[in-house]
């Protein structure tokens, strides 16, 4: 069944009003007199404009339709359509064939507006703990479900409204660069930071000079459905030079724990559970931090510790309550491929969702 409604250019405003009242749609497509090709669209906004102009409901739809609609050709990746809608600030996109006939209408499911933030995905590591898989494939390109892990990260960033993404590469870098290209097929800009020698999770920042206010940094071996838009919003609101994302780690001790006082039993805990906040490998930082990092091997935690020495309140903590997994071992890689079966593999966000509300899970 088609997921859109189409009328000919001879239809009247009353016909379109009837469609809006009868079906859960936010756009009506307009074809030529014989019902072929896309020549226009009508939205609720167009009808409101017509009402303000005091046009009759019996007027031809041609008088109120948008005769230069935004559309896209079939065969593009879904992320391309999503970015196009985000940039164009539309919620529905007609997909057409080479004869201008409508195939389907795609709904916007990502962030409503681009945000003033770039992103860096750290993808240059050797992944030695995942041998033999990483002998011929860089860890970020290993598939989780039907997609490389790094593609899931990039998609989540883009759907948060981030369309300029840096990827640091070193080991088997050609595989990553050939897979994404310059990002234009996805409607985004991808810039590669090629490390002649590994610079650590923080050192490669010295090779970047960004103009936007903030940057999100993500390790390339993280599987998460974290809402990056909410992370950026938190970071901007707190106005700290850096924000570190943390995840609660629960460790169950499989033995009874004994506490003593000078050799005398004072208490006993039977297989206690301990909770710790661990580094999630995800950060948000101000551009002034990035533009002042010197070129040498350095990890992000080292940079944050240096900040704390200068100002003990300069780094905020963002607690991740979403799904999160660090794929640092064969066991965790197997777990990721099991977990993804029970998680959404596409964007599922309501178009009516409030801009300030967390988006739904994105993988």
132 pLDDT higher than 80: yes
Residue 313 falls within a domain, yes or no? yes
Q: Please, what is the Cα angle at 275 between 270 and 277, to 5 degrees?
A: 165
**What pLDDT, on the 0 to 100 scale, is given for residue 1?**
53
Say whether pLDDT at 56 is over 70.
yes
Same domain, 193 and 244: yes
Choosing from 86, 107, 128, the residue where a domain stops is 107
Q: For residue 101, what are the domain limits?
A: 6-107
CATH of the domain at 27: 3.10.580.10
pLDDT the model gives residue 143: 93
352 part of a folded domain = no
Q: 289 in a domain, yes or no?
A: yes
Tens digit of each residue's pLDDT (9 = 90 or more) over 310-356: 988 999 999 999 899 999 899 999 999 988 877 643 333 333 344 44
pLDDT at 198 over 50: yes
pLDDT at 73: 92
Q: For residues 44 and 126, state if they share a domain.
A: no
Would 356 be classed as within a structural domain?
Answer: no
In the predicted structure, residue 147 carries a pLDDT above the cut 50: yes
Average pLDDT, the chain: 85
pLDDT band at 144 (very low <50, low <70, confident <90, very high): very high
Tokens read off for 19: 């469609």
* 355 domain-assigned: no
Q: Give the domain-ending residue among 84, 107, 130.
A: 107
pLDDT reported for residue 331: 93
**77 inside domain:** yes
Q: What are the pLDDT digits (tens) for 119-128?
A: 999 998 888 8
**Do 128 and 277 share a domain, yes or no?**
yes
The answer to whether residue 66 sits within a structural domain is: yes
93 & 122 share domain: no
- What's the confidence (pLDDT) of residue 113? 62
Report the pLDDT value the prediction gives residue 350, as an integer from 0 to 100. Answer: 36
pLDDT at 165 over 50: yes
Same domain for 37 and 145, yes or no, is no
Output 262 or 293, whichever has higher pLDDT. 262
- Pair 195, 306 in one domain: yes
201 and 295: one domain? Answer: yes
Exposed/middle/buried for residue 252 (C-beta within 10 Å: 0-12, 13-18, 19+)? exposed
**205 shares a domain with 276:** yes
Query: What is the distance between the alpha carbons of residues 208 and 133, in angstroms, rounded to a whole number?
Result: 30
Q: Quick one: 246 and 283 in the same domain? A: yes
What pLDDT shows up at residue 312?
Answer: 87
Do 211 and 188 lie in one domain? The reply is yes
Extract the tokens encoding 266. 């004072």
Tell me the per-residue pLDDT of 207-253, one tens digit each, with 9 for 90 and over: 888 888 999 999 999 999 898 999 999 999 999 999 999 999 998 89
**Which are the contacts of 66, defined by CB distance < 8 A and separation ≥ 6?**
40, 41, 42, 43, 46
How many distinct structural domains can be found in the chain? 2
Taken as a whole, the chain contains a residue count of 363
Average pLDDT over residues 177-186: 87
Lowest mean pLDDT among 18-32, 37-51, 337-351: 337-351
In a domain, 325, yes or no: yes
Specify the pLDDT at position 354. Answer: 41
Q: Looking at 57, 78, 107, which one is the last position of a domain?
A: 107
Q: pLDDT digit string (tens) for 61-85?
A: 888 898 899 999 998 888 788 878 8
Q: Compute the average pLDDT of residues 98-113.
A: 78
How much is the pLDDT for 345? 36
Q: Are residues 166 and 302 in the same domain?
A: yes
Q: Do 78 and 148 have their domain in common?
A: no
The pLDDT, as a whole number, for residue 151 is 92
Say what the pLDDT of residue 362 is: 31
**CATH number of the structural domain spanning residue 311:** 3.90.550.10
13 pLDDT tier (thresholds 50, 70, 90): confident
């Amino acid at each position: 069944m088609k997921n859109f409604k189409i009328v000919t250019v001879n239809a009247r405003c009353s016909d379109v009003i009837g469609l809006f009242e009868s079906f859960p749609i936010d756009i009506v497509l307009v074809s030529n007199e014989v019902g072929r090709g896309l020549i226009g669209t009508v939205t609720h906004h167009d009808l409101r404009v017509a009402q303000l102009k005091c046009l009759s409901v019996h007027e031809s739809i041609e008088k109120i339709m948008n005769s230069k609609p935004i559309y896209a050709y079939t065969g593009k990746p879904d992320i391309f359509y999503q970015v196009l809608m985000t940039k164009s600030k539309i919620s529905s996109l007609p997909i057409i064939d080479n004869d201008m006939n409508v195939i389907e209408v795609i709904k916007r499911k990502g962030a409503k507006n681009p945000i003033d933030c770039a992103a860096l995905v750290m993808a240059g590591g050797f992944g030695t703990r995942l041998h033999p898989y990483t002998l011929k494939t860089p860890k970020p390109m290993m598939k989780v479900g039907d997609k490389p892990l790094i593609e899931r990260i990039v998609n989540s960033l883009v759907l948060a409204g981030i369309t300029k993404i840096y990827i640091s590469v070193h080991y088997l870098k050609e595989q990553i660069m050939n897979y994404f290209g310059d990002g234009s097929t996805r409607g985004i800009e991808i810039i590669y930071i090629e490390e002649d020698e590994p610079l650590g999770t923080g050192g490669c920042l010295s090779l970047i000079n960004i103009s936007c206010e903030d940057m999100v940094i993500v390790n390339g071996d993280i599987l998460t459905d974290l809402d990056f838009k909410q992370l950026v919003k938190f970071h901007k609101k707190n106005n700290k030079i850096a924000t570190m994302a943390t995840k609660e780690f629960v460790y169950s001790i499989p033995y009874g724990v004994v506490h003593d006082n000078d050799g005398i039993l004072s208490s006993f805990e039977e297989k206690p559970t301990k909770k710790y906040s661990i580094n999630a490998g995800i950060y948000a930082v101000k551009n002034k931090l990035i533009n002042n990092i010197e070129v040498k091997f350095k990890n992000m935690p080292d940079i944050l510790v240096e900040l704390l020495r200068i100002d003990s309140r300069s780094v905020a903590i963002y607690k991740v309550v979403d799904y999160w997994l660090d794929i640092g071992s064969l066991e965790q890689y197997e777990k990721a491929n099991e977990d993804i079966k029970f998680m959404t593999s596409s964007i599922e966000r309501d178009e009516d969702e409030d801009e300030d509300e967390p988006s739904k899970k994105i993988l």
